[in-house]
Structure 1
Amino acid sequence: MSDSNPTPAVKPVIAAGAAKRANASVMGMLLAMLSTVAIVLTVVWLNPEPKADTYRTNIDVATVAGHAADTAGFHPVAPELPEGWSANYARWNPPGADGVAYWDVGYVTANDTFIALRESITANPTWVAVQAQQAPVTGTRTIDGHDWELRDAPKGERSLVLTSGETTIVLTGAADFTDFDILAGGSSALLGENSTPTAKDSK
């Protein structure tokens, strides 16, 4: 015969001291979490997300080109470009294993795209191919009376190559043709100046 009075469930009893310690541990964890969140929010507030313009530098390409002229043996191009363009580096690279020394400038366009300009008077086909990322020749593009060789590379990058006398200029980047045309036109307009020997060569 079954028992009509089931035994009530036994409720665990926590000693007052243990309960106090447990509550203190929970409060400690909550305080630690709140402190961490407060620190993170303070750091974010003091360091807001940078805008695209923050990464733009203000390299004076013409000044760097002037310093490089005697070493280069010619006047490196430093085209005047529209408002919104900037250069994030400009340097002269001495000859490497390929024997080619060249002027190297990185331009950020007004559309926040990038085009690298490389210019040399000792260029060879291998060097040009490397600068153009081994992209095949796909046509020509006439800009301000100069015929630039067009090379299309994978991943949306392209190159324009111009050889005038001893000077070769290679433009490479992922910008659109409008920006390429601006930089190419400004660069080719200065090629007459590049043919003038520097003071070092005229001695």
Structure 2
Amino acid sequence: MSSTHEDAQPQTEQPTVRPVLTPGAAKRANASVTGMIMALAVSLLAIVPVWLLSGNSGAQVQRPTVNVSAVASEAKGAAGFSPAAPSLPAGYSANYARWVSGTSDGVNHWDVGWVTPQQQFVSIEQTAMANPTWITQQVNEAPITGTRSAGGITWTLYDKPGVEKSYVGKVGKTTVIVSGSGGFPEFDVVAAGVAATGGN
């Protein structure tokens, strides 16, 4: 008796198909990887300096040293007087010293600023050309509220809420304005230091 069914054919495994990148596709893939590496390198270059700077964030901030006496000596010829370079106690750090001229108000002046031990700011402006208008501008139009004594000089106090207070006094042949965010003890230290220079 013959069989009506054909003999079953053995099943053969299908070969694994591996994708083949064309040279163009391979180049694009490599370019993407290269681009990612370059972007990562740029990011690291931006982050590392910030990390290095913040690494000492708990340490005391180092400020550039300003040699007030040296700058004052250079300004003396233009000023016509000896600009004040007071010797202040430890903890007072000068962060600028400059001779200011050619301003629209026509008042050339010596300008120095210090950061105090309490991390406040006190500055002086000293000139032989002061006039009432200039003084009013420098004290931010604050009214006279009293006087203070420092360094043997009676200083006129200008003060009003919302603006920095100021001392104004005559030191030698110059007018000196002490201004800033510091407290009265800090103002007194700076004012006394300026008074000791003589202002001549």
When normalised by structure 1's length, the TM-score is 0.70
User: Is it true that 1:101 corresponds to 2:108 in the alignment?
Assistant: yes
Cα offsets for 1:86-142 (capped at 9, x unmatched):
111111011422221100011111111111110000011111111111111100001
State the partner residue of 2:177: 170
Alignment RMSD: 2.5
* Mapped contact 1:100–1:120 kept (Cα < 8 A): yes
User: Is it true that 1:75 corresponds to 2:76 in the alignment?
Assistant: no
* Mapped contact 1:133–1:153 kept (Cα < 8 A): no
When normalised by structure 2's length, the TM-score is 0.71
2:156 to 126, 149, 154: 149
Question: What is the alpha-carbon distance in structure 2 between the residues aligned to residue 162 and residue 174 of structure 1?
Answer: 18
Tell me the amino acid that sits aligned with residue 109 of structure 1. T
Residue 152 of structure 1: how far off its partner (Å): 0.8
State the partner residue of 2:143: 136
Structure 1 residues 123 and 95 mapped into 2: Cα distance closer, same or farther (>3 Å)? farther
Question: What is the alpha-carbon distance in structure 1 between the residues aligned to residue 173 and residue 197 of structure 2?
Answer: 14
* Mapped contact 2:85–2:194 kept (Cα < 8 A): yes
Tell me the amino acid that sits aligned with residue 75 of structure 2. A
User: Is it true that 1:47 corresponds to 2:53 in the alignment?
Assistant: yes
Residue 72 of structure 1: how far off its partner (Å): 0.6
Correspondence list, 1:25-36, <5 A:
none
- Relative to total residues, which structure has the larger helix share, 1 or 2? 1
- Using CA pairs below 8 Å that are at least 6 residues apart, which structure has the higher relative contact order? 1
Question: What is the alpha-carbon distance in structure 2 between the residues aligned to residue 71 and residue 79 of structure 1?
Answer: 19
State the partner residue of 1:111: 118
2:134 to 127, 130, 135: 127
State the partner residue of 1:184: 191
Which consecutive segments of 4 or more residues in structure 1 shift more than 3 A? 38-45, 49-52
Structure 1 residues 176 and 44 mapped into 2: Cα distance closer, same or farther (>3 Å)? same
Identity, % of aligned positions:
41
Of the two, which has the highest radius of gyration? 2
* Mapped contact 1:95–1:102 kept (Cα < 8 A): no
SS state at 1:163 partner: strand
SS state at 2:122 partner: strand
Tell me the amino acid that sits aligned with residue 129 of structure 2. T
SS state at 1:53 partner: coil
Question: What is the alpha-carbon distance in structure 2 between the residues aligned to residue 80 and residue 156 of structure 1?
Answer: 27
* Mapped contact 1:115–1:172 kept (Cα < 8 A): yes
Structure 2 unaligned regions, length at least 5: 1-39
State the partner residue of 2:21: none
Count how many residue pairs are aligned between Structure 1 and Structure 2.
Answer: 160
Tell me the amino acid that sits aligned with residue 52 of structure 2. L
* Mapped contact 1:162–1:169 kept (Cα < 8 A): yes
